[in-house]
Chain A
Amino acid sequence: MTTPTAPDAMYRNDEGLGVWEHRGKVAAVGVGHAPTSRRWDGRPETCVGAITIDALRKAIDDAGVAPDQIDGLVVVPVTTTGAFWEAGKPLPMDVIQSFNQTDDPLDGIAKLSAEWLLKNMPELTNVKFTMYGPGCMSNALNVTAQAVGDGLTHTCLVVKSWHNFEGRYYQGGANAGDALPGTPAITQLWGGPASYSTALQFAEYCRKYGKSHDMMAAFMENSRRNGLRFPEGYWAQHRPEELGPEDYLASRWIAKPANLFDNDIPIMMSGAYLFSTAERAADMKQKPVYILNHASSNTRPRSLLPTLDEVEADTARTGRKIYEGAGITADDLSFENMYDGFSLFHQFHLEGLGYRGIKFGEALDFYQTDISIEGPNPVSPSGGNVGSGRSRVWMHTDCIQQLQGRAGARQVTGVKPQVGVSGGPMPLGGNYTVWSASPD
């Protein structure tokens, strides 16, 4: 079976599309996470393919569905943003021989195909629909919701995984060479780190609105606090350390004004969900969480980096798309789980949503108020990548668990969990999902 990449037509990129045609008719039920680790230790049972199988099986168990009932699988094929298998590095043959390998020896080690998963999960005997949602879980969720709504699959798994190898992120390959080809040279010769673009938008934001980087400390402390209440996450599992203002503000700069903690920590992880039609979900083991809408942005900046004006125009547009398709307003949000890796753009998402009525330039002041899970205005109750490591998945898991009432120590208590929103990554170019405890 050849797995296609989701066509553009599956995304809701435009304003004016009206209420999503499948609003409330698609549901998330099961959640599965593999244990996290900082880096791969080279063993077959911890490679990215193996942890993905683990997460998928947990999601199936969690939903209480027989594996032969599953007829769809949506996969994010890319499992890193900056940890690459160096050219010429010997292949780990013991690992490769531990699995039913595809034609690509790095499948399951440095990338992931649907074919590899199906070859190594013999219990999935009835999968007839496979599709790639590139990049992030946020993207794959949009694809899954649309596919279930459109009837392409009725019981569908969706999975996003991350590998991480020895060595520093982004530092191999072209960055270690003496010359660059002419086209990448135009953008890469100057050596901006990954968080540089976000740092610049944040710097412009601070100049425009009279804010400062130290105002981020309240958000960071809250996010780590929530992350330490996320037993599936990296910090909770491996480094149960609070992140107080002193530690945050004393950390070294990466691309000032972005410091070390503003950059999420790369990890190995896998997160999976089981989606189904609302009808079928009613008979499954967990309470269904209904999808009210999915929305996307494919906006590109005019030139090298998005300006603050471009960011604000697009996050506002994204907010309008999110609400329009879900048939809700900002007042309906019980909480928000917009993306935070890098932390310095979370406020753009928040202001675009108009969460709790905040306007452009007000989010950092809002951070100084009660944004905890116990208060009336929870910000990032998942703790996001700040709280649990680089996955771009925690925000979605948290929305599902909050609305099912099984977020454990992270459960919001200052609001009744009825509607949540999650998604990202960047302020320009992202995918968003609106989740609800009720189908209408």
Chain B
Amino acid sequence: MAKQGVDPDELTQPFWDAANEQRLVIQNCVDCDRLQHPPSNTCRDCDEGGELEWKQVSGRGTIYNYGVVHDCPVRLLQEDQPFNLAVIMLDDDPGIQMYSHLPGVPVDEVPVGAAVEVIFEPSANGQLVPEWRVIAD
């Protein structure tokens, strides 16, 4: 599926740079040692804001939940309807979620709870974007 391109901004430049190197990094608060995603300019749990770093994670996760999108607001994705849209929970911290179209998984046949690993797919402007594929048993 051809996703829209990405123009990295100041906050997310490290995330997208790492993706182009096929590495998954997630924001981490040095002070309370907690991952947070989506990224933000301050730690959500530290009253003083916390010092944030980008931490490389394992790129392993499980499929937590999914829906099937039949009527998508994003024009570029409309030709691919209907498509799976799953939420992945990271093995590094199962409170942290990422979206996935689950390439290769037939529509509405999503194995909830299955193990997945991160892959990187080019978007419309070539920026690599994290995606997830089911790990064969």
Residues of A that sit less than 8 Å from B by CB: 169-171, 175-183, 185-194, 196, 199-200, 203-204, 207, 252-258, 300, 302-305, 307
How far is A191 from B83 in the complex, measured between Cα atoms in Å?
10
Residues of A within 8 A of B75 (CB): 171, 175-176
Whether B67 and A256, one on each chain, are in contact in the complex, defined by CB atoms closer than 8 angstroms, is yes
* Extra 10 A-B pairs, beta carbons < 8 Å, given A189-B123, A192-B85, A204-B65: A178-B124, A186-B12, A187-B38, A189-B6, A196-B69, A200-B87, A252-B71, A256-B70, A303-B37, A303-B96
Contacts of A175 in B (CB 8 A): 73-75
Q: Are B8 and A179 in contact (CB under 8 A)?
A: no
Residues on the B chain within 8 Å of A200, using CB: 65-67, 87
Residues of B within 8 A of A207 (CB): 112
With both beta carbons as reference points, the residue of chain A lying nearest to B108 in the complex is identified as A256
Contact status A191-B72, CB under 8 Å? yes
Provided the pairs A170-B73, A255-B71, A255-B85 are in contact, do residues A190 and B99 lie with their beta carbons within 8 angstroms? yes
Report whether A185 and B72 are in contact in the complex, using a CB–CB cutoff of 8 Å: no
A305 touches B97 (CB 8 A): yes
Quick one: given A179-B4, A185-B6, A302-B95, are A256 and B38 in contact (CB under 8 Å)? Answer: no
The reply to whether the CB of B11 lies closer than 8 angstroms to some CB of chain A is yes
Which chain B residues lie closer than 8 Å to A300 at the CB level?
A: 44
A126 to chain B, nearest CB (A): 43
CB-based contact A192/B69 at 8 Å: yes
B5: A residues at CB distance < 8 A: 178-180
When distances are taken between beta carbons in the complex, the residues of chain A under 8 Å from B4 are 177-180, 185, 189
The answer, yes or no, to whether B100 is at the interface (CB within 8 Å) is yes
A187 touches B76 (CB 8 A): no
A185 to B13, CA, bound (A): 12
Please, which residues of chain A bring their CB within 8 A of the CB of B108?
256
**Which residues from A are CB-within-8-Å of B9?**
181-183
Can you pick out 20 interface pairs between chain A and chain B where the beta carbons lie within 8 Å of each other?
A171-B73, A179-B4, A179-B124, A180-B4, A183-B9, A186-B38, A189-B6, A190-B100, A190-B101, A191-B69, A191-B85, A192-B69, A196-B67, A196-B85, A207-B112, A257-B67, A303-B95, A303-B96, A304-B87, A305-B97
Provide the residues of chain A in CB contact with B44, threshold 8 Å.
300
Pairwise interchain contact A305-B87, C-beta atoms closer than 8 A: yes
Which B residue's beta carbon lies closest to that of A200? B65
- Bound Cα distance from A191 to B78, whole angstroms: 9
Would A193 and B73 count as touching, CB distance under 8 A?
Answer: yes
C-alpha spacing A255/B3, complex, angstroms? 18
- Cβ contact within 8 Å between B99 and A192: yes
Closest to A302 in B: B95
Q: Complex Cα distance A304/B65, Å?
A: 12
Q: Can you name the residue of chain A whose Cβ is closest to the Cβ of B125?
A: A179
